[in-house]
Amino acid sequence: MAEFQIIILFSLLSGSTVFLGGLLSYYFGDHVKSGLVKAEIIHSSTAFGGGILMAAVALVLIPEGMQALSLVPMAICFMAGAIAFFLIDRYIQRKGGTIAQLLGMLSDFVPEAIAMGAVFSQNPQLGILLAIIIGIQNFPEAFNAYLELKIIYSAKKCLIILFLLSFSGVASALLGYYFLSDMPITIGALMIFSSGGIVYLIFQDIAPLSSMKKNWIPALGACLGFLVGMIGLKILG
């Protein structure tokens, strides 16, 4: 099998969890009765997704980006990401909705998929491991993204959106493989830009949504999500 075919295969597999996470969320919403347990699961899942995003920022995106960029470009890219997501968030809220989890998932998924494609030409094993970790990250984030989208759109439209977005990993990986494998500064800038946006989303939208009065389980979910990122980094060596 040719290298570009392997990239397509693994980016499809990692992206498929976007749709699968949304599909699970759809069945969860329809078949699990409302109550304290359901509320705990939703808040814990939101916190778990936030923990994974924190891990992606702290353990992958920022360390890799800082290696590629000097101080001033790094600071500019980070704040540009934060301001861009602030403006997007404000616009969406004025329209009466919130898609923080969806934005967070894409801000994590797309640059990591680009990096996956970029490293494949030099280290295929590392590329495959990145694809596996990306797939694990996407699942809980898509679960939460569906719950947010459901507030705005019908169930069918939410699943269609997530199904289409699941293919963004293929496009991102091929972009990294064919055009950015020799451009570490560009990839680093993208990672730092995404990090700024994710940090904004975590503290503005995701963390407040995960909290429950007199309930400490969701906070443990955030720790578990961060641990998943730590385990992934350890596997990568």
Confidence of residue 46 (pLDDT cuts 50, 70, 90): confident
Query: Of 230 and 75, which is predicted with more confidence?
Result: 75
Q: Are 234 and 59 within 8 A, CB to CB?
A: no
Q: How far apart are CA 222 and CA 83, in angstroms?
A: 25
Q: Across 14-98, where does the E strand assignment appear?
A: none
Q: pTM of the entire structure? A: 0.75
Q: How far apart are CA 190 and CA 175, in angstroms?
A: 13
Give residue 101's domain range.
Answer: 3-236
- Could you give the number of structural domains in the chain? 1
pLDDT at 12 over 90: yes
**The pair of three-digit structure tokens given for residue 197, joined into one six-digit string:** 């946006």
Q: 184-201 and 100-120 are packed helices; what angle lies between their axes, rounded to 10 degrees?
A: 160
The distance of Cα 201 from the centroid of its chain, to the nearest Å, equals 11
Give the tens place of pLDDT for each residue, 127-177: 787 788 788 878 888 888 888 888 888 889 999 999 999 999 899 999 988
pLDDT at 237 over 70: no
Q: How far apart are CA 30 and CA 154, in angstroms?
A: 13
Residue 174's pLDDT is 92
